[in-house]
Amino acid sequence: MPHTALWLDVGPVEQLPALGARTLPVQGGQEIAIFRTANGDVYALQNKCPHKQGPLSQGIVHDTTVTCPLHNWRISLISGQALGDDEGCVPTIPVKIDGGRILIGRKEALAGAA
């Protein structure tokens, strides 16, 4: 079905605790970080801080931002933009929840491997 090919099922949403994150390896040694906020929304970004490629999945989630564990840049989970005085942007990956499963955009996820 062409429709399902657009989305990659990465597992049940209940496996991702609120304020938690998990990573998903993609081709080329890259990783995607998948985050869940306090109110249950799920976001996916490349697991690379736009500053010096810190692993955002190990950062602290607060509202719709994650704080990079290396030098505390704050990154919007919605836009991937660095907030405050910092500049940079990490690619975001579309996410939807369907039947309790987390689906991420296949094309964008694989583009992260480029």
Compare residues 74 and 101 and give the one whose CB is closer to ligand FES.
74
d(CA 21, CA 43): 9
35 near ligand FES (CB under 6 A): no
Compare residues 51 and 101 and give the one whose CB is closer to ligand FES.
51
45 near ligand FES (CB under 6 A): no
Q: Which residues are 104's β-sheet partners?
A: 8, 95
Please calculate the CA angle 45-51-57 and round it to the nearest 5 degrees: 35
d(CA 68, CA 49): 7
Among positions 23, 30, 41, 51, the unique one binding ligand FES when judged by CB under 6 A: 51
62 near ligand FES (CB under 6 A): no
Among positions 62, 71, 96, 107, the unique one binding ligand FES when judged by CB under 6 A: 71
Do you know the residue count of the chain?
114
Among positions 27, 38, 52, 63, the unique one binding ligand FES when judged by CB under 6 A: 52
Question: CB within 8 A of 2, min separation 6: which ones?
Answer: none
Residues within the interface to ligand FES (CB under 6 A): 49, 51-52, 54, 68, 70-71, 73
